Amino acid sequence: MKIFEIFWEYRDYFLKGLEFTLLLAAISVVGGFIVGILISLLRMSRWSILRFIGTAWVEILRGTPMIVQLFIVHYGLATTFNIKFTAFESGSITLILNSSAYLAEIFRAGIQGVDKGQTEAARSLGMTGGMTMRYIVLPQALKSVLPAIGNEFVTIIKESSIVYVIGMAEMMYQTNMIISMTYDAMTPYLVVAIMYFILTFTLSKILNMFERKLSNRDKR
């Protein structure tokens, strides 16, 4: 079949794009995870100014298109403040920021889902608020939202395709290069669509297995 012929002939391009896509997704999830926790804590702060900052962060990033955020980071900062990033850096920063807004809400729901009695018990034992959050609340909250974090990873893999517009050599960028060489606008897109599907489908199944293991462990 022509799909297999195109994939095999230009496998180096497809595999290079796959490498960059996975690297970009991994960096974005880790960065979004760290920033998302901080933003979720801001949203639940006792200080109104911090709650405002956390809320504004989430609402602005979730309420604007990612491609606009990408152009602001890559082109806007360069022309206005002379802050220049490579395509990979701009893509990573944009995905981290965007992902952090969604992960912040996931973490906030997880933290609020922890029984308040445990917090009160920890405080009665002399633990400070920071210690209670670090040793009691966050471990339980993170465990409960792990499946949602995994789903965010799958989502980022698909959304990372947008960074090809600034020249990032991920899967879509490599596919467009192949199209320019073959003058075939259908087959390379079918190949990359299959690659995305295999990636997301495989990750989804792995996450489902992991979630079932966690559920079975909790029942014991």
Please list the pLDDT of the chain residue by residue as tens digits (220 residues). 789 999 999 999 999 999 999 999 999 989 999 999 999 999 989 899 999 999 999 999 999 999 999 999 999 999 999 999 999 999 999 999 999 999 999 999 888 888 878 777 877 878 887 788 888 888 888 877 888 888 888 899 999 999 999 998 899 999 999 999 999 989 999 999 999 999 999 988 888 887 787 777 665 5
Here the tokens at position 68 are 């606009």
The model's pTM: 0.89
> Taking the CA atoms of the chain, what radius of gyration do you get in angstroms?
21
Q: Quick check: helix, strand or coil at residue 220?
A: coil
d(CA 44, CA 217): 30
Q: How many CB atoms lie within 10 A of CB 195?
A: 18
DSSP state of 133: I
Inter-residue contact 100 to 61 (CB < 8 Å): yes
pLDDT of residue 217: 66
d(CA 100, CA 28): 9
The fold of the 2-219 domain, in CATH, is MetI-like fold (1.10.3720)
Distances (CA, A) of 30 to 114, 122, 184, 200, 220: 23, 29, 37, 18, 30
Contacts of 185 (CB under 8 A, 6+ apart): 179
Candidates 154, 139, 130, 143; CA nearest to 206 is 154
Q: Quick check: helix, strand or coil at residue 64?
A: coil
Buried b (16+ CB within 10 A) or exposed e, 113-143: ebeeeebeebeeeebeeeebbeebbbeebbe
Candidates 189, 98, 196; CA nearest to 152 is 98
